Amino acid sequence: TAASGGGLVAYADSAAESAPEPSQNAPKKKVLVLGTGWAGTSFLKNLDCSQYEVKVISPRNYFAFTPLLPSVTCGTVEPRSIIEPIRRMFEKKSKDVTFYEAECFKIDASKKTVHCRSAVGTNLDGNGDFMLDYDYLVVALGATVNTFNTPGVLEHCDFLKEVEDAQKIRRSVIDCFEKASLPNISEEEKRKTLHFVVIGGGPTGVEFAAELHDFLVEDLVKLYPAIQEFVKITIIQSGEHILNMFDERIAAFAEEKFQRDGIEVATGFRVVRVSDDLITMKSKSVGEEVSVPYGMAVWSAGIGTRPVIMDFMQQIGQTNRRALATNEWLRVRECEGVYAIGDCATVSQRKIMDDISMVFKMADKDNSGTLTLKEIYDVLEDICLRYPQVELYMKSMHMLDIADLIKGAIGDAHKESMVVNIEEFKKALSHVDSQVKSAPATAQVASQQGNYLAECFNKMDKCKEQPEGPLRMTGGSGRHFFRPFRYKHLGQFAPLGGEQAAAELPGDWVSMGHSTQWLWYSVYASKQVSWRTRVLVVSDWTRRFVFGRDSSR
Ligand code: FAD
Ligand code: MG
Ligand code: MG
Ligand code: MG
Ligand code: MG
């Protein structure tokens, strides 16, 4: 029941076999997808669209390969090379997929409708508003920038979130150089104009700073020799280190490389105000404010919630959150037929301690009121699938076997027999929930979620319609529930400029330097969504190697 709190989706094979085939004429269920970013397109790509009537809404009629956006800011890669038109992406499915270029401004879950607005006025009264209804809604709207309400940021800083942002940054960089080259400009003014500030030392900020540095030393200094001595790049980071989501070795490598390159890294500073020529920041340790003149500032410090998501969360009582909470099947809690994936959502993992009596009862096959080690082993796989924190906890405690966890809970007296009662079982698992982690806001997570959700939708027919059904563990063999979403981290890259990169790969494997950059080139070429963009990106890289970057505005 729903009361048991987003339990397991019952997936009974026997029921699937006897389920009647949907009749040829039965109307197809309507699936409405909001957003054509990483999450939305990966869902659509893997969905068997012939089963549904699919509609897609996005104000941009293309998909953008965001990991290459920093390369667009300096012309290493052309904007056209990293975007793929949505209609081309789903050309083969065009019979079953309808795309509308419009923005969704309101989700009304109680009426199962979505309100949209097109930029072109289509109605008689001259506006482009229209309404769509759905049976299933897939919210994949992504996130927006977060200024943390810092005064002046919206007015004076550039952002790096969309393709248009990257193009604008490219023009602004060149503008700064042209401006500093004009006659009658004082040295002080030149220094100010050519001071490029990056706010935020996460992967995007760091990669942009590295790109900019390459652009300066490889191309611009040759073209603007008279002003090269005035150029400066600064990264402002509020934390102790840049790239703090990576392994410490990578952060240290990046900081050393930037120091050699002359990129200033100001850590422990929070930007409190931005005016048209000064950035004011506050030292976290000393509390003192410093203001620095700048020519151009790029804000890449954190992600925020889109207004339409904020409004929707208010409606369904999810207040004071950054993202929509879903259960482990990516279903928005208490909201029928609504799913959320990607940066606009977070999975809230159920705590095992909330379900502990139920888990105990499931495992206790013989109703003896105690669990033997064998009874625990029989359901262990299911427990770990349902509550991944159990595995994470054992790993963090360097335990290979759940028996070690149990041993810690039961007194010496019956250590030999290894039988636990409910109190001991609770005690053994009491710290496990501390390992619940939310997945990061990355393309990797978004696309895995899109993939997974499509798989659920493709099997929807066969699944018994009991999505919030009771927890059912069968013990080993035939699994009677649908596998919840589980993020698989495949590693992460940080390009650092000068043909060097750092990478963190599964199994605590860290690699840094020139060879890692080549690994980066090959991985990013292979990840392109079509052969067309792959050829374009690779030829952009080649063109840059041979001729350098284009420095016209
Ligand atoms: P998005 O990809 O942002 O898609 C949101 C979609 O919703 C878009 O199509 C948008 O047009 C549409 N939309 C917006 N508002 C509306 C509306 N009102 N109505 C309808 N549609 C709307 N991740 C990595 O894993 N590796 C990287 O190297 C990496 N590099 C990055 C570099 C940069 C510069 C940036 C900005 C991000 C990077 N990311 C990277 C993060 C990654 O891009 C995001 O995590 C990912 O895009 C999230 O996917 P999404 O589908 O949730 O959102
Ligand atoms: Mg999306
Ligand atoms: Mg995207
Ligand atoms: Mg997310
Ligand atoms: Mg028993």
- Check if 60 has its Cβ closer than 6 Å to any atom of ligand 1: yes
Distance from C-alpha of 211 to C-alpha of 224, rounded to nearest angstrom: 18
Look at residue 475 and tell me whether its pLDDT is greater than 60: no
Q: Which chain residues have CB less than 5 Å from ligand 2, an ion?
A: 35, 37, 39-40, 140, 342
Q: What is the pLDDT of residue 459?
A: 85
CA dihedral 324, 327, 328, 331 (to 10 degrees): -80
- Check if 116 has its Cβ closer than 6 Å to any atom of ligand 1: no
**ipTM confidence:** 0.97
- Check if 202 has its Cβ closer than 6 Å to any atom of ligand 1: no
CA of 553 to the centre of ligand 2 (A): 31
The model's pLDDT over 100-119, given as tens digits with 9 standing for 90+, comes to 999 999 999 999 999 999 87
Confidence of residue 462 (pLDDT cuts 50, 70, 90): low
Tell me the residue ranges of DSSP E strands in 294-436. Answer: 296-299, 303-304, 324-326, 338-340, 345-347, 371-372, 419-420
CA distances from 261 to 65, 234, 265, 493, 498 (A): 28, 11, 11, 20, 9
CA of 367 to the centre of ligand 5 (A): 6
Distance from C-alpha of 354 to C-alpha of 4, rounded to nearest angstrom: 10
Closest ligand 1 atom to Cα of 208:
34
Distance from C-alpha of 324 to C-alpha of 345, rounded to nearest angstrom: 4
- Check if 82 has its Cβ closer than 6 Å to any atom of ligand 1: no
- Check if 38 has its Cβ closer than 6 Å to any atom of ligand 1: yes
CA of 143 to the centre of ligand 2 (A): 9
Look at residue 186 and tell me whether its pLDDT is greater than 90: yes
Q: What is the pLDDT of residue 146?
A: 95
Ligand nearest to the CA of 442: 1
Closest ligand 1 atom to Cα of 343:
52
Both tokens assigned to 537: 């990106």
Q: Which of 338-352, 412-426, 440-454 has the lowest mean pLDDT?
A: 412-426
483 beta partners: none
Q: What is the pLDDT of residue 10?
A: 37
The model's pLDDT over 326-360, given as tens digits with 9 standing for 90+, comes to 998 999 988 989 999 999 999 998 899 998 998 89
The model's pLDDT over 246-288, given as tens digits with 9 standing for 90+, comes to 999 999 999 999 999 999 999 999 999 999 999 999 999 999 9
CA of 370 to the centre of ligand 5 (A): 4
Confidence of residue 171 (pLDDT cuts 50, 70, 90): very high
Distance from C-alpha of 8 to C-alpha of 495, rounded to nearest angstrom: 41
- Mean of all residue pLDDT scores within the chain: 88
Nearest CA to ligand 1 atom 29: 67
Identify which of 154, 156, 157, 274 has the alpha carbon closest to the alpha carbon of residue 208: 157
Closest ligand 1 atom to Cα of 441:
45
Closest ligand 1 atom to Cα of 450:
51
CA of 167 to the centre of ligand 3 (A): 16
Q: How many other CB atoms are found less than 10 A from the CB of residue 516?
A: 21
CA of 91 to the centre of ligand 1 (A): 22
Distance from C-alpha of 160 to C-alpha of 157, rounded to nearest angstrom: 10
